[in-house]
Structure 1
């Protein structure tokens, strides 16, 4: 079972849970824990500087936790997704994007697979 904690009310919890479930399942994850937090521009700018060395706010940041967990039956902590609504065009798409990063996908290093999958998931969610 996939457990989702939603912190902040920028998007209904049910919508966040649905987007997390689709993104995680598309990458083969059907159990574990994900936290999605909607934060202020100041908070995301702080995280962006601390963890990426980039100044200023951004739309979404992902922090995977159990990247190398090989126990298929254990409760996996996939990680945390932080979204800044003031810097995000589509909140649902930001959730999907962040969760895909938690599953190990990276649009900065792949051949377009992550963004193609993201677009496909967004079609399912529309």
Structure 2
């Protein structure tokens, strides 16, 4: 079994806010991330797939295919968007980095399997200091 990772980048705005809470409670729990005027991040997304090396190609997955899958199913939907308002698979969900990673997994898992590889992990950097890693569990 071998692992290969593709990195992509996107920019997006969001806010952490629960409509069923008061403004004061949202600010207490989420701090500046509950800003009524939103805020943005420059995200880095690492998608790691695993599998056996194809003897004919030498690949686990063709990296051009992996790039196309990530761009089509995630990046084109989130780049320069408001994650809370513009992204179909995020509607009604908290736009935390943790939930984004889980939702990205759901978008990528099937198309990667169709190419004969297995999604191993999603690593999503929200800042240079903060990231989440999800293994589909």
TM-score (norm 2): 0.32
Which structure ranks higher in relative contact order (CA pairs < 8 Å, sequence separation ≥ 6)? 2
